[in-house]
Chain A
Amino acid sequence: MAADLLSGTASAMARAVAGGECSAVQLLDAALTAIDSGNQTLRCFTDLTLERARTEAAAVDAARSAGRPLGPLAGVPYGVKNLFDLAGVVTRAGSLINRDNPAARSDAFAVSQLVAAGAVCVGAQNMGEYAYDFTGENAHDGDCRNPHDLAHMAGGSSSGPAAAVAAAMVPFSLGTDTNGSIRVPSSYCGLFGLKPSFGRLSRRGAFPFCASLDHIGPLARSVEDLTLIYNALLGADPLDPAQDARPASAIDFASLADEPPLRIAVAGGYFRERCDPVALQAVDAMARSLSVSEQCELPQAARARAAAFVITASEAAGLHLTRLRERAADFDPMMRDRLLAGAMAPVSWVMQAQRFRRWYQLRLAELFRHFDVILAPATPTTALAIGQQTVQLDGESVPARQAIGPFTQPISFAGLPVVTVPYWPAGSGLPIGVQVIAAPWREDHALQVAQQLQQSGVSRVRIAKPYSLSGSSDA
């Protein structure tokens, strides 16, 4: 029973626990068995919090036995990208250097919210070093592999969080997204992922990458799960200086289907160039399913990506400057060289990029007066092969690492909420994602359209099993 549930959704697990069909301890045991069997191959988890998980699961079961009310995620096992603080665990942030830090004294704000919702934390997950990564490769903890095809990347930087959900180890994970780090691995591993509006959810206790652009959010197997987890993560945190002060209401998933239709367009121009035909096939399939025929243009998207690149490199370099001075040789070489270059960038480049960001924000606000939701590819291709150096796009050879995030960067640069929805091209062994992009603060619109796509069947999650080349099955 518990093992079967582990391939399903978090919502179904919470219902099973609340209904007494399965205990939280049984679910935890099933999750630990799955992790034990697949982690050596996939490298999803870097730290297991066994004692904590057993305590949390037992508390849920005790509360149910005593007839006390249960939280909305009671008994549901999950993992967090290893940049989130977990009390008693060293927050490694994908690095070697941070392992010398003392263990975190308390949980990250988001983890505390999940504790309050009754979820059971089983551990911390692999990621690209300091989140500066789209591949899921990690020089210190090993490369996280795509459970649908082990020769391919899981995508990064939330690689472990994505692979663990796709491989049925846990039904959801907590990740972060600065330039695409939830949306890229969601696309590569075929999951639903939510990057909320910039400033919506507290980032306190999540090791930073680039404060101007950092977001947190969930990766899961259904839109209902994303909504449930998002609601649990909501909460005012006066200690996060980036959190927006406007009140945020929980989203009623059941009523999304009754909301009036939204004005939807497909992103044209930049978002239909330099990508594999399969990326456009995915977007067009979603558009057909929604009877969308209109296209729109996000102005200066290429410049937005360039500006995000400049801000990211220089801001991250500022964050790591002391470590670059004292322990440069201990960085993953790919990260170190980018950070050193970022440290040397003139400030005027960064200030111009930040001024351009204001201009871009104002233009997109005009665009959202005409549309509620915009569809765009999440990645230009399905998951690249691990170690792949170049990719052919529109007849041009492009360095692989530059061919992963071109469609996510211009969206997070504007702080827009996005749900990535998975698509399985006919006959393909690998999925690809589509971004469902809404106006700032309208997570409900992105979730509403994502739910329509899931309900129609055009978007669905498949569970990889069992991390061999034996294929995948619907969740």
Chain B
Amino acid sequence: MADVKQSFDPHVLIAPAAGLLELTIEPQWENAIGTNLAMMAQAAALVGSFPLPDEMESALLFRPL
């Protein structure tokens, strides 16, 4: 997978994101959440490093009824 910037520390994100989302995070959960966030960041970096043309639309689709 593509490397995420060394400066990214997922643990820094947890407290402010939890506040924004009104989530209560127990201290003993933080390591596992950080590990999962780091894995997501790696996956997102791999996807994000792939060049897509501007006109490539999202696969989400809405159909009026």
Segment touching B, from A81-89, A93-101, A250-258, A298-306 = A298-306
A313: chain B residues within 8 A (beta carbon): 36, 40
Q: Please, how many angstroms separate the alpha-carbon atoms of A338 and B14 in the complex?
A: 13
Q: Are A338 and B44 in contact (CB under 8 A)?
A: no
B34: chain A residues within 8 A (beta carbon): 341
Q: Are A354 and B40 in contact (CB under 8 A)?
A: no
Partner of A340, one of B23, B44, B59, B63: B23
Q: Are B44 and A345 in contact (CB under 8 A)?
A: yes
Q: Are B40 and A310 in contact (CB under 8 A)?
A: yes
- A369 contacts B by Cβ under 8 Å: no
Partner of B32, one of A241, A314, A337, A349: A337
Partner of B36, one of A241, A303, A337: A337
- A336 contacts B by Cβ under 8 Å: yes
Residue from the set B33, B43, B48 with the largest chain A CB neighbour count within 10 Å: B43
A333: chain B residues within 8 A (beta carbon): 29, 32
Q: Are A306 and B46 in contact (CB under 8 A)?
A: yes
- B24 contacts A by Cβ under 8 Å: yes
B21: chain A residues within 8 A (beta carbon): 321, 325, 343-344
B50: chain A residues within 8 A (beta carbon): 300, 303, 356, 359
- For chain A, the count of residues having a C-beta within 8 Å of the partner chain is 38
Q: Please, how many angstroms separate the alpha-carbon atoms of A341 and B11 in the complex?
A: 10
B44: chain A residues within 8 A (beta carbon): 306, 310, 345-346, 349, 352-353
- A41 contacts B by Cβ under 8 Å: no
A356: chain B residues within 8 A (beta carbon): 47, 50, 52
Q: Are B46 and A340 in contact (CB under 8 A)?
A: no
A357-398: contact bitstring with B at CB < 8 Å (1 yes, 0 no)? 111010000000000000000000000000000000000000
Known A310-B43, A354-B60: A345·B37 in contact at CB below 8 Å? yes
Q: Please, how many angstroms separate the alpha-carbon atoms of A82 and B26 in the complex?
A: 30
B17 to chain A, nearest CB (A): 4
Q: Which residue of A lies closest to B36 (CB)?
A: A341
Q: Which residue of B lies closest to A238 (CB)?
A: B65
- A324 contacts B by Cβ under 8 Å: yes
Q: Please, how many angstroms separate the alpha-carbon atoms of A176 and B42 in the complex?
A: 27
Q: Please, how many angstroms separate the alpha-carbon atoms of A353 and B52 in the complex?
A: 11
- A49 contacts B by Cβ under 8 Å: no
- A355 contacts B by Cβ under 8 Å: yes
B29 to chain A, nearest CB (A): 6
Q: Please, how many angstroms separate the alpha-carbon atoms of A325 and B26 in the complex?
A: 12
- For chain B, the count of residues having a C-beta within 8 Å of the partner chain is 35
Q: Which residue of A lies closest to B38 (CB)?
A: A341
Q: Please, how many angstroms separate the alpha-carbon atoms of A355 and B26 in the complex?
A: 35
B43 to chain A, nearest CB (A): 4
Q: Are B56 and A324 in contact (CB under 8 A)?
A: no
B61 to chain A, nearest CB (A): 10
Residue from the set B17, B23, B47 with the largest chain A CB neighbour count within 10 Å: B47
A340: chain B residues within 8 A (beta carbon): 18, 23, 25, 29, 33, 36
Q: Are A303 and B47 in contact (CB under 8 A)?
A: yes
Known A306-B43, A328-B24, A336-B29: A358·B59 in contact at CB below 8 Å? yes
Known A306-B43, A309-B43, A359-B52: A212·B33 in contact at CB below 8 Å? no
Q: Please, how many angstroms separate the alpha-carbon atoms of A343 and B21 in the complex?
A: 8
A147: chain B residues within 8 A (beta carbon): none
B7: chain A residues within 8 A (beta carbon): none
A338: chain B residues within 8 A (beta carbon): 36
Closest 9 CB pairs of A and B: A341-B36, A306-B43, A337-B32, A357-B59, A349-B44, A344-B17, A354-B58, A341-B37, A306-B46
| Interface residue ranges, A against B (CB under 8 Å) | 212, 241, 300, 302-303, 306-307, 309-310, 313-314, 321, 324-325, 328-329, 333, 336-338, 340-346, 349, 351-359, 361
Q: Can you name 28 A-B pairs with beta carbons within 8 Å?
A: A300-B50, A306-B42, A306-B43, A307-B43, A307-B47, A309-B39, A310-B40, A310-B47, A325-B22, A328-B23, A333-B32, A337-B35, A340-B23, A340-B29, A340-B36, A341-B39, A343-B23, A344-B13, A345-B37, A346-B44, A349-B44, A351-B58, A355-B52, A355-B56, A355-B58, A359-B52, A359-B56, A361-B59
